[in-house]
Structure 1
């Protein structure tokens, strides 16, 4: 059972060896944890450990230990996400210091959580909630990588191209490491000159990855093009139409969606459903419809019987989803009234929760 480090007490028996980016465990499995072990784990920023929880385990005999039922469980996705985020942050800081991108290392970082989310696509719903505005860039980097891989899977790409798409999404903003930190952490709107400097990051990112042999040419192109749009409104080259590669669009849409659904230093977050509508309406013509449908089917699927909360706080149940208006179904309120969100444009779905219809 994985338990948060803050709740670990001396006497717990370690079930799984603890690794910390080292070739050998920092603490071996079967170790009975002491205060010194716990301080050691904290020094390595370990957030949770796997311990044996049984009635006759040493932990149950230790008088200072709380009851196991009182200890919070660590969600597997949360544990894996924040472990990966720590590695992403470390890599970004290495790039800031002038180190090169090591593609084999980046593959090792992203692959465990990518495989987990590919097998458990419903876990993708959680990533926007994990993001924190003061370290947004690292969350964005990881999340765009995951979203890109998930969209690629939804588009039925082969496994190799799914991984390449995820790596390209993960590395799309690596060029931001060459931007002044004061600009990356600015809490107010950017000036025109500052915005132009930020717009140079796809070029900087491409320069950092162009010689990586384990990254396919289309992935490198996608890193350069992830802010290009089909209608020619993007940057850095203003490419349009077929000149914008499919993986470039995929990463660009993942980037846009995550930016909309997370809180940033100068802008609040939108709900999943509001973000989908903004992409459909405000960005129409910028992305291929198949790429948009792939993302929407991952993040905003509604079905009859689902419990939803509307933007005015009202709760209800989805009655019918119209094919052409997937985010604007008929919603029945507890008093029996039915709201047609196609007609009520002032309202939108704030959140949803799967529940079987009566």
Structure 2
């Protein structure tokens, strides 16, 4: 192992020892492969130097290239989505072959858990509308895989997730991008976007009808409280139910024009709470249980400013895991006042 100044660190390097705060809390555990976000995190916490595994340079460079490759490909995908969605504002017909190609890229991303974990690092507030569509496509195909869906369904879910909000291209920017709360009239305009999306897709003869239905129904809810038609349970397509779940999760964990992001655990809690009335219980449970597992071992920041590490998930409530804070283990299910406000995914 060799000690490096934090300003000498590069993506792809591997920590050989835990990095601790002055109070003894583990900021970044050993074995973590450094990313730009991790390096910035260490600098922000005033860490001067860290111990790094001595490895062949091509190994370190290869890891760094892998992270950089995903980010490059993700932003190239973002540019493609911007192009076709902005084209729809000018009444340009949907280039279905291009959209299907993008959807296949999203399936590929969902095959790689490390890529899925990097989603929290590549989100950009300025591109929220477009990247939200990408992320919903990725999460939808991932959830479809967790539910045991076949390959064709997983491809359809990716495409439906990518297209779920295309109706918003028909909403005036002054409403869609308004930073303040919407008026009742403006919200009624927003509520039309599933219908607009369905109408945009109707001329696409080569598109599976289930995808059109998923776009139309993705804001419908099990108890009839959704829109645009207020239909219930069995009348809602399973694709729509899947997209409803991942749509909520990605929106809450993203910076939006009108609201900052919340921690993944806040989003997981929202999905869990809505599973009793709004969302399909089996689909919601599968998602929040499996996505919670991503964060075991992660460094978390609490609402009192302290830092800890997730050690073990609480089977009855994944949003309240067992955490280690300095040299103590704390069961968050018994400490309701302590909330996770941010997560560092390594």
TM-score, length of structure 2 as denominator length: 0.76
Mapping 1:172-251, distance limit 5 Å: 172-251=164-243
Residues 284 and 311 of structure 1, relative CA distance in 2, 3 Å threshold: farther
> 1:339 offset after TM fit, Å?
1.8
For 2:70, the equivalent position in structure 1 comes to 77
Kept in 1, the 8 Å contact 2:106–2:137? The answer is no
User: What's the secondary structure of 1:98's corresponding residue?
Assistant: coil
CA drift of 1:311 comes to: 3.4
CA distance in 1, matches of 2:204, 2:224: 28
* Runs of 4+, deviation exceeding 4 Å: 302-307
CA deviations on 1:209-259 (whole Å, 9 max, x unpaired) are 123233222221111000000011100000111111111011111111111
In 2, the alpha carbon distance for the partners of 1:102 and 1:159 equals: 23
Higher RCO (C-alpha under 8 Å, 6+ residues apart): 2
1:104 aligns with 2:97: yes
2:331 to 319, 325, 340: 340
Structure with larger Rg: 1
Q: Is the 8 A contact 2:272 2:285 kept in 1?
A: no
Aligned residue runs from structure 1 range 1-358, under 5 A: 73=65, 75-115=68-108, 117-281=109-273, 284-301=276-293, 307-336=299-328, 338-349=329-340, 350-351=342-343, 353=345
Q: 2:313 is paired with a residue of what secondary structure?
A: strand
Query: CA 1:310/1:302 → structure 2, altered by over 3 Å: closer, same or farther?
Result: farther
Query: Per-residue displacement from partner, 1:111-155 (whole Å, max 9, x unpaired)?
Result: 12421x232123212224322223321111211111111111111
Instruction: Determine helix, strand or coil for the equivalent of 1:332.
Output: strand
Indicate conservation of the 8 Å contact 1:304/1:321, yes or no.
Answer: yes
SS of 2:152's partner is helix
Paired with 2:261 and 2:296, the residues of 1 have a C-alpha distance of: 27
Residues matched between the structures, number:
284
The 2-side partners of 1:342 and 1:166 are apart by 35
Q: Which runs of 5+ in 1 are unaligned?
A: 1-68
Greater Cα offset, 326-335 or 82-91? 326-335
> Which residue of the partner structure matches residue 37 of structure 1?
none
Partner of 2:5: none
Q: Aligned with 1:326: secondary structure? A: coil
Q: Is the 8 A contact 1:175 1:202 kept in 2?
A: yes
Task: Name whichever structure is richer in helix by fraction.
Answer: 2
CA distance 1:255–1:319, change in 2 (3 Å): closer
**1:318 & 1:90 partners in 2: Cα distance?**
40
**Runs of 5+ consecutive residues of structure 2 not aligned to the other structure:** 1-60
Q: 2:319 aligns to what SS in structure 1?
A: strand
1:319–1:174 distance in 2 versus 1, CA, 3 Å: closer
TM-score normalized by structure 1? 0.73
Distance change in 2, residues 1:259/1:307 (3 Å): closer
Q: How much does 1:84 deviate? A: 0.2
Any idea what SS the aligned residue of 2:182 has?
Answer: coil
